[in-house]
Amino acid sequence: NCSLIHGKIQEGSLCAQHCLNNLLQGEYFSPVELSSIAHQLDEEERMRMAEGGVTSEDYRTFLQQPSGNMDDSGFFSIQVISNALKVWGLELILFNSPEYQRLRIDPINERSFICNYKEHWFTVRKLGKQWFNLNSLLTGPELISDTYLALFLAQLQQEGYSIFVVKGDLPDCEADQLLQMIRVQQMHRPKLIGEELAQLKEQRVQKTDLERVLEANDGSGMVDEDEEDLQRALALSRQEIDMEDEEADLRRAIQLSMQGSSRNASQDIPQTSGTHLTSEELRKRREAYFEKQQQQQQQQQEQQQAPPGQLSHLCERPTTSSGAPGSDLGDAMSEEDMLRAAVTMSLETVRSDLKTEGKQ
């Protein structure tokens, strides 16, 4: 657990401030204090330039140039950091300088390093018996093993970093005291802040997509039920349409049959006969037809008590010689079969009557 380690995360471009406070493990320097040190350094440089004459070209050029010790972004120079550490009796020595390299000191025997590349500063410090990368661009302290420390510093040098060894006694801190007694293990290395933000954004997107999928799955049962109801409704609608189409086709067939019978009958009747059915004769024939239908219905009701086998046999009997369907038809006949039988009987009756009239 590295929660006791002071590892300030980058805010703006105040990496020099974070570097110093991470090194000292506390909020020891503020931007205002570092700015004051920078202004003091600027004034010292101005006074040195003025020694050559305030009217000289170099002095006027120096006054027109911005400060080399700080800028509006929060950057501070190595001179500012060095002067700030002098307050604590600490000194910076360039790690790759010939003077330090001649000392042949193993990096693990040092206490801390300050690393700089362009305008970025960060601290590498030993806390207890372990090394930590306290880069403010990371989401937390990064554990560095003793065997990896020399390689880590060499890699920074290859990337163009300037490395400074911090000489002197650092102030006591709680993290150093605790880590003198225990060692920490780091299961996951911290990520760069940008990577962490990108990952969090991706996780939010994935979470949103997952919630949408879950919502869709929650309503899937309802969707399936709605689809089933719709399919059933469509099937019933198709059945009704088919039945209507069949009835319409049947009506058209009856109408065509009646028209065809009328045409055939008119052709069979001699043109000289001049015989026509009166409305009274048509009414009487319709009454006779309906009386015959009522008799057939009574006969069907009498046959309802007959055994199923006999009914099936009776249903298969052909029509009688009179042209009417068999009188033994039971209720086993469907309505459609009865309708077709009635239509057939009606057509045959009309044909028979017309032929009789034609003979007369």
Phi, psi of 132 (to 5 degrees): -140, 140
Neighbouring residues of 268: CB distance < 8 A, sequence distance ≥ 6: 354, 355, 358
Q: Sign of torsion, CA 337 339 342 344? A: negative
Please give the residue that has the higher pLDDT: either 321 or 5: 5
Confidence band for 318, pLDDT divided at 50, 70 and 90: very low
Q: What is the mean pLDDT of the chain?
A: 76
Active-site residue flag, 21: no
pLDDT attached to residue 278: 64
Cβ atoms of 165 and 95 within 8 Å: the answer is: yes
Cα separation of 3 and 232, whole Å?
Answer: 64
Share of the chain above pLDDT 90, in %: 36
Q: Which of 83, 96, 120, 173 is catalytic?
A: 120
CA distance readout (Å), 327 to 115, 168, 208, 353: 115, 127, 75, 21
pLDDT attached to residue 117: 92
Place of tokens 């042209």: 323
Dihedral through CA 48, CA 49, CA 51, CA 54, nearest 10? -140
Give the number of other CB atoms < 10 A from CB of residue 90: 22
92: part of which helix (H) or strand (E)? strand 91-94
Phi, psi of 120 (to 5 degrees): -110, 135
Please give the residue that has the higher pLDDT: either 242 or 43: 43
Whole-model pTM: value is 0.53
pLDDT tens figures, 133-158:
999 899 999 999 999 999 999 999 99
Give the number of other CB atoms < 10 A from CB of residue 359: 8
pLDDT attached to residue 287: 74
Cα separation of 19 and 34, whole Å?
Answer: 12
pLDDT attached to residue 321: 40
pLDDT tens figures, 79-120:
999 999 999 999 999 999 998 988 889 999 999 999 999 889
CA distance readout (Å), 340 to 241, 281, 314, 335, 346: 20, 25, 17, 9, 10
pLDDT attached to residue 273: 40
Active-site residue flag, 116: no
Confidence band for 293, pLDDT divided at 50, 70 and 90: confident
pLDDT attached to residue 307: 58
pLDDT attached to residue 231: 75
Active-site residue flag, 315: no
Q: Which of 69, 116, 133, 135 is catalytic?
A: 135
Cβ atoms of 30 and 137 within 8 Å: the answer is: no
Cα separation of 268 and 354, whole Å?
Answer: 9
Q: Which of 2, 6, 15, 21 is catalytic?
A: 15
Please give the residue that has the higher pLDDT: either 341 or 106: 106
Cβ atoms of 2 and 184 within 8 Å: the answer is: yes
pLDDT attached to residue 314: 43
pLDDT tens figures, 158-216:
999 999 999 999 999 999 999 999 999 998 888 888 776 666 777 777 777 677 777 77
Please give the residue that has the higher pLDDT: either 20 or 194: 20
The average pLDDT across 339-344 equals 65
